A and B are shown apart, each in its own frame.
Chain A
Amino acid sequence: MKNLTDLEIIDSVKKGNQSDYAIIIDRYKNRAFSLVKRMLKNEMDAEEVLQDCFIKAYDSLDSFRQESKFSTWFYRIVYNTTLTKLSGKKRKIELEMTSVEDHFDLESDYDFKVSEKKDMAEFLNKMVEKLPLNYASVITMFYINDMSCEEISEALNTSVANVKVLLHRSRNALKDILLKNNFAEELL
């Protein structure tokens, strides 16, 4: 059963096999959690919001017309639901201020510790959490959720060019941190 494709599982759920939805949950929960957590920057809220996302997706299964991949459709729900949660928490202003045109400075609030040099992935993980919302979302979707720029653009309802700009700017910001702290020589 676990080898079935997303579409096959969804067909089964639509036919009344509600318990099969657990396979979809198990398949996406951790990757979607990474996205929600980075957007909300709060673990407790993230689980609650993720539950709401899965319920919303379950309730909307009939409207899923299979024009895109299930994962893209689902991540769009996750992204939009999390945005709604954020706006509910009056973080909308912060969100609106972080458009593609805005600049951000990761270094200004980065407290460098020598021990972090040991684990590049852990270091980058911490840095990604400090990225503005839409940059962190794109990085998470691209690197953790294995989505293409086209799929991300569909999920975020933006252009592919915008997605690439966000991706490159995030990498540049992280690169600048590496160069400033002489990470590159040690790791390459």
Chain B
Amino acid sequence: MKNLSDEILNKFTDNELDQATLKMVREQLKISEEDRKRLKAIQAVDNGLRDMKSESVSTDFTSVLMKRISKKSKAKKEQQTFIISISSIFVIIALAIVGYVMHLIFSAPPSTTGGTAMATRETLNIMKDVMEPVKSFFANVNISVIGSVFSLGLLISIYFVFDLVKHTKNNLSRQH
């Protein structure tokens, strides 16, 4: 009679055989010492593997990891705050411009004569009115103030970029 396959012996060990096959395997095991030996070896492997213990990480693993997580969360919050601040400034500027334009539109005297040409002329006048203060805002002394503000913003951005690069480098060096 042919020997039992490793597949059957594994399924026997895992109790995955149906009743008919189980009966056949038991009969075969009674008469074949070779199969009994192979089954015992598989069962020894199975039992031995169940006795294996998990490996242990270093004792300060959790505390080191929690510090990393905490630091990362803090940096993430700071970045979020920075992005929100910058976005808020831009939104406020945009709102101010829109508000000013609306103010000019609503405060302009109503036109007595209709027509597209009149409406276009009025729009151009309003645009001219809007551009005048913008032009004067960027002129002379104001330009240096604006430059300083942008420089400050640029410096802050550079700081965050360098910080990010430093973190990335650290992470990469830790990985290698």
Contact A85 B57 (CB under 8 A): no
Given the interface contacts A18-B69, A183-B41, does A85 sit within 8 Å of B61 by beta carbon? no
Contact B37 A179 (CB under 8 A): yes
- Residues of A contacting B47 in the complex (Cβ-Cβ under 8 angstroms): 120
Cβ of A105 to closest chain B Cβ, rounded Å: 15
Contact A47 B45 (CB under 8 A): no
Contact B175 A29 (CB under 8 A): no
Given contacts A37-B55, A168-B6, 7 further A-B contacts (CB under 8 A): A18-B66, A120-B48, A144-B52, A144-B53, A171-B46, A174-B45, A184-B37
Name B4-53 residues within 8 Å CB distance of A. 6-7, 10, 13, 37-38, 40-53
Name A153-187 residues within 8 Å CB distance of B. 167-168, 171-172, 174-175, 178-179, 183-184, 187
Contact B48 A123 (CB under 8 A): yes
* A109 on the B face (CB < 8 A): no
Given the interface contacts A29-B61, A178-B45, A188-B44, does A21 sit within 8 Å of B56 by beta carbon? no
Which listed segment binds B: A3-11, A51-59, A62-70, A72-80? A51-59
- Residues of A contacting B13 in the complex (Cβ-Cβ under 8 angstroms): 171
Chain B minimum-CB-distance residue to A139: B49
Contact B57 A50 (CB under 8 A): yes
Q: How big is the A interface, by class?
A: 35 or more
Contact A121 B52 (CB under 8 A): yes
Query: How many chain B residues have a CB neighbour from A under 8 Å?
Result: 37
* B3 on the A face (CB < 8 A): no
* B72 on the A face (CB < 8 A): yes
Contact A125 B52 (CB under 8 A): yes
**Number of A-B residue pairs having CB atoms within 8 Å of each other in the complex:** 115
Given the interface contacts A54-B65, A179-B38, does A33 sit within 8 Å of B57 by beta carbon? yes
Name A112-137 residues within 8 Å CB distance of B. 120-121, 123-125, 128
Given the interface contacts A47-B58, A58-B69, does A184 sit within 8 Å of B10 by beta carbon? no
Which B residues have a C-beta under 8 Å from some C-beta of A?
6-7, 10, 13, 37-38, 40-58, 61-62, 64-66, 68-70, 72-73, 174-175
- Residues of A contacting B175 in the complex (Cβ-Cβ under 8 angstroms): 48-49, 52, 85, 88
Contact B69 A55 (CB under 8 A): yes
Chain B minimum-CB-distance residue to A26: B62
- Residues of A contacting B62 in the complex (Cβ-Cβ under 8 angstroms): 22, 25-26, 29
Contact A188 B40 (CB under 8 A): yes
Cβ of A187 to closest chain B Cβ, rounded Å: 5
A86 to B58, CA, bound (A): 22
Contact A25 B38 (CB under 8 A): no
Contact A184 B56 (CB under 8 A): no
Contact A184 B40 (CB under 8 A): yes
A19 to B67, CA, bound (A): 10
Cβ of B23 to closest chain A Cβ, rounded Å: 22
